Structure 1
Amino acid sequence: MTGKDIPSLQDAASSIPAGTKINVTFLGNEDLEMRVAAAKAVKDLGFTPVPHISARRLESQAQLEEFLDRLQQIGATEHVFSVGGDPSEPAGPYPDSLSVIRTGLLQKYGAKEVSIAGYPEGHPDIADDVLWRHLEDKSQALKEHGLDAVVLTQFSFDTDPVTTWIDQVRSRGIASEIRIGTPGPAGIKRLLGFARRFGIGANAMIVKKYGFSLTNLMGTAGPERFVSDLSSLTGADPAREPVKLHFYTFGGLRASAEWVHEYRFAQS
């Protein structure tokens, strides 16, 4: 959710299981008060806030500490997501999420578990070898700081690159929980727009496998096939575990929450 999504969260709350992790973004067009208010709303409604810390948007150490202090005051620092962020140039002293982790400030303000980014289909602006080096360095830094790690991935439409990437993560000795990103139900045009923005594979063969066609963009699509296929693939190989899901709520918080509820019911 974003800082503007508090009403949507309140509307969807009855459909979301207590304790669910809900990430709170760190957008350039939102301020400290909006970010803290969103994290507080998550906490007050009985869920687990996971505030994002966008390294390249931070102008100073003082700004980072102010944010962490405000989050700690509302009990929202145990789980955070340290991410580089979108700006091409850093606004301050932190060029990447690793530099934030290495400050030691996260645990000073109460962090116990830190999510870091994973990219099963690569990143449009970062070479694959750099991505792997960063993932290994961040995992090691978190271990050295006594922090639990979660690798939270960009969303995907295709299980093939996802499972290949999971195997590569494990082969590098990274045993942390992996949360695979998948879009909740959303309009097909909207899904494709986000896919183009983030460099996600979305050719005709891939999206058909996921469950929609590029020739019919008027409807909505959900992740039924993706989730079912991923479950069978990871469950069949214990070496890939632990693997969980992270839903990108492009179609809205309530729509995603209700989809999860209906999917679980259908599987029971």
Structure 2
Amino acid sequence: MRYKTSSVATVVRLLEHARYEVLPTPSIEEKVLAHVGKDVPLTVTASPGKGLEATLELTERLTVHGYTAVPHLAARMVRDRAELSDIAQRLTAQGIEAVFVPGGDADPPGDYPDALSLLEEIAALGSPFSHVGIAGYPESHPTISDDLTVQSMWDKRRYATHVVSNLTFDPDVLVAWVARMRGRGVRLPLLLGIPGPVERTKLLSMATKIGVGESTKFLAKNKGLFARLAAPGGFTGERFLEKVAPRLAAPEMQVEGLHVFTFNQVEATTAWRRDLLDQLN
């Protein structure tokens, strides 16, 4: 892949400041230890099918191994203030200083129907976490209008330290969304969500492990994901970065790094990132 000279520095910076998202399955800890360097931050997803305990336990184990691990605290999965307080004390006691707060899909929810309500409660507990991420949606959310998602980031910005963009495969959509977000006054640093390299069979297997219900919700939010990732000559991270890099290089865009959705294929993701960096350096 040939990058314009002006884009190389941007792509290298994004790749060097990448973190991997993993799902709390039984085998992922072993895979991370075998293939991911401890300089790469990790985030651990949460789903109603597995419960928050699976997320918290894996986060703690990865932290003990020396990784910077960030749990997803899905708002709708947290029962009440007492549980939130227990979670905060549990994580901070392990030296875990960062969390990611999406709304989540649990139905019915506990006391927190959305991310903002949980963020407000975290603040009421004394803001125990020094880094708090919130989600951004470059493409339309299946249940929330575009205007509301941008307004939501504006409402949540005072409680957060950065935004993580959800998956999009359209460079134009991404750049327009970043510009719109900045124009609205959301100045938080941004981590660009991008899928790592995946194999169709492994992706389908991972969907099964997530659980039928969770897979259905995931696919509803990411229409065409499997087809785009698996199609010959389809989406690749290299081409996507090549197209967005020139337009995201401006300081006012404040894109600091990548949030790589690995679908637990961490060996392939690490090799892809290393090879691309080798080509560009």
Same fold (TM over 0.5): yes
Aligned to 2:10: none
1:98 pairs with one of 91, 116, 136: 116
Alpha-carbon separation, structure 1, partners of 2:242 and 2:67: 25
The aligned residue for residue 64 of structure 1 is: 84
The letter of the residue matching 1:172 is: R
Counterpart of 1:3 in structure 2 is 24
In the TM superposition, residue 200 of structure 1 has moved relative to its aligned partner by 4.5
**Does residue 43 of the first structure (1) align with residue 63 of the second (2)?**
yes
Say whether the 8 Å CA contact 1:186–1:222 is kept in structure 2: no
Which consecutive residues of structure 2, in runs of 5 or more, have no partner in the other structure? 1-21, 208-214
- Report if the CA contact (8 A) 2:76-2:114 is conserved: yes
Pair 222,49 (structure 1): closer, same or farther in 2 beyond 3 Å: same
Q: State the shift of 1:132 in Å.
A: 1.5
Q: For residues 148 and 55 of structure 2, what CA distance do their matches in structure 1 show?
A: 30
Structure with higher strand content: 1
Q: Does 1:197 align with 2:211?
A: no
Please list the CA deviations of residues 28-52 of structure 1 after superposition, one character each: whole Å capped at 9, or x if unmatched.
2324543222112221232211111
Amino acid at match of 1:124: P
Instruction: Give the drift of 1:266.
Output: 1.1
Counterparts of 1:67 and 1:171 in 2: how far apart (Å)? 35
Q: Which residue of 2 aligns with 1:229?
A: 243
In the alignment, is residue 161 of structure 1 matched against residue 146 of structure 2?
A: no
User: Separation in 1 of the partners of 2:190 and 2:246?
Assistant: 16
8 Å contact from structure 1 (residues 117, 152) kept in 2: yes
Query: 1:200-238: CA deviations, max 9, x gaps?
Result: 46699xx5xxx874xx5xx99641111222223212x33
Q: Which runs of 5+ in 1 are unaligned?
A: 143-147
Per the normalisation by structure 2, the TM-score is 0.78
Which of 250, 255, 263 lines up with 2:263 in the alignment? 250
Higher relative contact order (CA 8 A, sep 6+): 2
Q: CA, structure 1 residues 227+107, in 2 after alignment: closer, same or farther (shift >3 Å)? A: farther
Q: Which has the higher helix share?
A: 2
- 1:238 equivalenced with 2:235 (yes/no): no
- The 5 Å alignment of 1:42-191 reads 42-76=62-96, 78-90=97-109, 92-105=110-123, 108=126, 110-140=128-158, 142=159, 148-188=160-200, 190=203
Tell me how large the CA RMSD over aligned residues is.
Answer: 2.8
Q: What displacement does 1:155 show?
A: 1.1
SS at match of 2:71: strand
TM-score by length of 1: 0.81
Q: Which amino acid aligns with 1:52?
A: H
Q: Name the CA distance, whole Å, in 1 between partners of 2:43 and 2:132.
A: 12
